[in-house]
């Protein structure tokens, strides 16, 4: 690899690291919003989070295609070490936020099932037999 290619690779690694740092900061913001219960703000940051995740994924794919194992090809291994550490933090925080959201959904489903009785049973269940002389009446 020439010195010029080396500099270009180092610049690309740094650009990817910056994108990763932006995503990490957005995940920290998501964590705060989840703790505050600010669902409207969560919906507002979702498109940016998705866009950053897609951009980061594509950038990493491009780096891997251009050099195979870029961390071995570049002279600035510390840039790759920093990037890998940031990616680990992103994964851990995203997993934690995902678990929190899944738990929250479970609680809401359980609360909803207590407040709203099931109107329809499972399709495999047979209907209760009709009782002679029983009926429903309604008042207006």
Tens of pLDDT along the chain (140 residues) come to: 554 454 456 668 888 999 999 999 999 999 999 999 999 999 999 999 999 999 999 988 888 876 655 555 445 567 888 899 999 999 999 999 999 999 999 998 888 888 876 666 555 555 555 556 555 555 54
Predicted local confidence at residue 8, as pLDDT: 52
Structural domain contains residue 92? yes
Going from the C-alpha of 123 to that of each of 32, 89, 110, 119, 120, the distances in angstroms are: 42, 45, 21, 12, 8
Predicted local confidence at residue 125, as pLDDT: 58
Predicted local confidence at residue 36, as pLDDT: 95
- With contact defined as beta carbons under 8 Å apart, do 70 and 64 qualify? yes
Structural domain contains residue 137? no
**Cα dihedral sign for 23, 25, 28, 30?**
negative
Domain total in the chain: 1
The range of the structural domain enclosing residue 69 comes to: 3-115
Structural domain contains residue 123? no
Predicted local confidence at residue 12, as pLDDT: 83
Structural domain contains residue 71? yes
Predicted local confidence at residue 21, as pLDDT: 96
Predicted local confidence at residue 87, as pLDDT: 96
Structural domain contains residue 129? no
Using CA atoms, how far apart are residues 86 and 92, in angstroms rounded to an integer? 10
- CA-closest candidate to residue 61, choices 24, 16, 19: 16
- CA-closest candidate to residue 5, choices 58, 63, 61: 63
Predicted local confidence at residue 79, as pLDDT: 80
Using CA atoms, how far apart are residues 2 and 138, in angstroms rounded to an integer? 86
């Amino acid at each position: 690899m020439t010195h010029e290619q080396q500099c270009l690779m180092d610049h690309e690694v740094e650009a990817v690291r910056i994108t990763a740092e932006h995503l990490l900061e957005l995940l920290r913001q998501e964590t705060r919003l989840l703790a505050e219960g600010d669902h409207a703000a969560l919906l507002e940051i979702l498109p940016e989070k998705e866009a950053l995740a897609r951009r980061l994924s594509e950038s990493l794919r491009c780096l891997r295609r251009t050099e195979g194992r870029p961390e071995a090809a570049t002279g600035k291994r510390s840039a790759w070490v920093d990037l890998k550490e940031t990616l680990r933090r992103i994964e851990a925080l995203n997993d934690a936020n995902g678990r929190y959201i899944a738990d929250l959904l479970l609680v809401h489903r359980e609360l909803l099932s207590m407040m709203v009785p099931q109107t329809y049973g499972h399709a495999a269940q047979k209907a209760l037999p009709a009782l002679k002389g029983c009926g429903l009446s309604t008042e207006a």
